[in-house]
Amino acid sequence: MWADVETGRDFLNFNVMASLVSQMILDAKGQALSIGISGGWGVGKSSMVKLVEADLNARIKEAQKQDTGGAKGKQSLLFVNFNAWLYQGHDDAKAALMEEIADALTKCATEQETSVEKGVKLLKRIDVFRSLRFVGELAATVYTGVPVGALARAGKGVYDSLTDGDITSDDYDSASSTIKEHAESAQGLLKPSEKRQQTPPQMIHAIRTEFEELLDDLKVTLVVFVDDLDRCLPPTVIGTLEAMRLFLFMKRTAFIIAADDKMIKEAVRVHFPGTKVDDDIVISYFDKLIQVPLRVPPLGTNEVKAYLMMLFVENTVIYEDSATDKQAKEQVRIAVNQRLATSWKGEAVDAEFVQGLIKQCPESLKAELELADRLARQMIISPKVNGNPRLIKRFMNTLSIRRSLAKVQHITVNDAMFAKLMLFERFASATSFNSLTELISTASHGKSEILRDLEADVRKGEAIDEGRWPPGWKEDAKLIEDWLKLPPDLGGIDLRGALHVGRESAPIIAAENKLSKSAASLLTQLLALKIQPTQSVKVQFTTVTPDERALIMTSLLDKASAETEWGTPSILYGLGAMAENDVVQAERLIVFFGNVPSSALKAGLIPRLATSEWGKKVIVGLAKRPDLPTTVSKAVAAELKAGK
């Protein structure tokens, strides 16, 4: 299995771009710089950020080694990594970014034993600025007359206590006490003549001034990496961009923003509803923040082969000695990247090349490398994979699970056959995939002659008459034609074992449990749901018997059990629709969530659960768990409080 996290190890020769970004930062020599690393979901933006940071660190260390004249002329960099998504729904992203930067500068000042007082002052001023959002006029009315209020975390508590629906005298006393406690430190940042006059714009100017002075004192260039911005909701996106704008274009700053520019531009559009923001204005807003736009390059067949092969190499114990094993894998990685750099000359990365890099290459790894060679083209042409590294990794994880399931059940299935079926499962509609399973399930010994004939005709270049397409295939005709051409041929081969292992994707129902046409239609629609069910879907529940609803729920739960992360997967819509139309199935779903590991739960699941009665019961059960992730625990606590 392969973890779906960013990596600092380069499998795709991305170091070329990372090195370019590093060189631009160093060449700027402290002049303001903002670089945008753009690309779609899962293409490797976060990994690119890691590579840039690693390359910069390596360059600075090398410069320090070669510097024989002391510190004079040496560039010093201070890194800040900010993931806006972590603050989604829990904090003000604008203030959080400002605080992260001030924290890093203060720590640096402490290490240098200089300018510590300025760093602390900057932190306090940011806390005051943050409090304007949380308590604002409340502070002015209750105590000081100055809109500074409590510090950020205290201010949030005051705000919550006074907006929970019932203001008591205890709430008022607590708010007053909190504000009095912090007002003195807040006022201490302002000169006597300014205490009742300093406005937010003046505070911003003060923050910028102290920030510049601190950077100058420390003699460092601040390098801020902003990641996962395109995962955030529009308010968080805009808040982070506004905080960046506060520090952008100041000397000794460099911002590297990794995000899908299309998502960011859409967030800008959503942020200004009803104002007729045209494309030019949206593009202008984003482009003013980014001086140098770069895009993660798409993967070609050679890159996909290299990526797949390196995944297999990393997942295999080549040599028993761990140090030797690690060194050998690193040598393979370097050689593969060097070959990718010259692939324009026609030098391919294939199984033979990688096998030649490993002395006494294990037979099991040779087989995996051959599989990677065959899979690469499928990964490229599939419209739902399209050479995306994250999707490739998820695809390979699913393939790995199914291979293991086949092995323990003594089912012999060719890996390439598994992969071809999985590709159909990923890009085709639920209706089309159910038709494929029916072709196989109803064929003699699982060997579909219809599938065999379709593959043969497509390979000959013959047009397929519409009447020959199985139900649902007509809508996906072009994609399915490309799929039919992929090796290996599946027609005439017993595929029942492959379907059995992958049965979480589509129900395989025994003859004695055969669903009625209406129930089968409902199941297909529930499996395909990606939004709340329409009225037409809801009406179908009345046409299905309780026994059939139980069978449908079993199929839905089978698919749900394959989920490894419970944020808001699409299967949740089908499960929720069934639970809301059948109290018996709702109880089954509550029991199911009671067995989902805490480590698999994500904070985004909790608000979704809170919209239904069965979901609220799940939340109550989750609240009793001692091992919930912190973000999930906070979300559970917030929903329980809101429900009182």
High-pLDDT (> 90) share of the chain, %: 5
Q: CA dihedral defined by 592, 595, 597, 598, rounded to 10 degrees?
A: 90
Query: Cα 108–113–118 angle (5° rounding)?
Result: 70
Is pLDDT at 186 greater than 50 in this prediction?
no
The β-bridge partners of 295 are: 38
* Model pLDDT, residue 383: 65
| pLDDT at res. 619 | 92
pLDDT tens, 70-117?
A: 444 466 888 988 887 777 665 566 777 778 888 888 888 787 777 666
Cα→Cα distances 446→263, 317, 415, 423, 499, Å: 45, 37, 18, 19, 10
Q: One-letter amino acid identity for 593?
A: F
Please give the Cα distance from 494 to 446 (Å, whole number). 5
d(CA 260, CA 228): 9
According to DSSP, the residues that pair with 303 across neighbouring strands are none
Cβ(586)–Cβ(579) under 8 Å? yes
Beta 292-295 vs 253-258: how paired, if at all? unpaired
Top-confidence range, 139-143, 270-274, 277-281, 523-527: 523-527
Rounded to the nearest 10 degrees, what angle do helices 200-218 and 93-112 cross at?
A: 30
Q: Is the pLDDT of residue 255 over 70?
A: yes
Q: pLDDT value at position 617?
A: 92
282: its two tokens: 């949206």
In angstroms, the CA 303 to CA 307 distance is: 6
In terms of residues, how long is the chain?
644
The region, left, alpha or beta by phi > 0 then psi within -120 to 50, assigned to residue 221 is beta
**Dihedral angle over CA of 329, 375, 49, 45, nearest 10:** -170
pLDDT given at position 616:
92
pLDDT of residue 71: 46
Q: Is 13 left (phi over 0), alpha (psi -120 to 50) or beta?
A: left
pLDDT digits (tens, 9 = 90+) for 108-166: 878 777 766 666 666 666 665 555 444 333 333 333 333 333 333 344 443 344 334 44
DSSP lists the bridge partners of residue 81 as 225
CA angle 225, 231, 235 (to 5 degrees): 90
Confidence band, pLDDT 50/70/90 cuts, at residue 575: very high
Cα–Cα distance for residue pair 30/252, rounded to 1 Å:
4
Q: How far apart are CA 610 and CA 463, in angstroms?
A: 51
Buried b / exposed e along 210-223 (16+ C-beta atoms within 10 A): bbeebbeebebbbb
Q: What is the pTM of this model?
A: 0.57
Please give the pLDDT value at position 418. 81
Whether the Cβ atoms of residue 422 and residue 394 lie closer than 8 Å to each other:
no
The rounded distance, in Å, linking the Cα atoms of 252 and 216 is 8
* Alpha-carbon gap, residue 488 to 115, rounded angstroms: 68
**Radius of gyration of the chain from Cα atoms?**
29
Three-state SS for 108?
A: helix
Is residue 450 within 8 Å of residue 470, measured between CB atoms? yes
pLDDT reading at 193 higher than 50: no
Q: Are 308 and 374 in contact (CB under 8 A)?
A: no
Using DSSP, state whether 77 is helix, strand or coil: strand
What secondary structure does DSSP assign to 292-350, as a single string? EEEEPPPP-HHHHHHHHHHHHHHTS--SSSHHHHHHHHHHHHHHHHHHHHTGGGT----
Task: For residues 354 and 313, give the distance between their C-alpha atoms in angstroms, rounded to a whole number.
Answer: 9
Q: How far apart are CA 509 and CA 511, in angstroms?
A: 7
Percent of the residues in the chain that have a pLDDT greater than 70, as a whole number: 77
Average pLDDT estimate for 560-572: 84
Closest C-alpha to 582, from 619, 548, 616, 536: 548
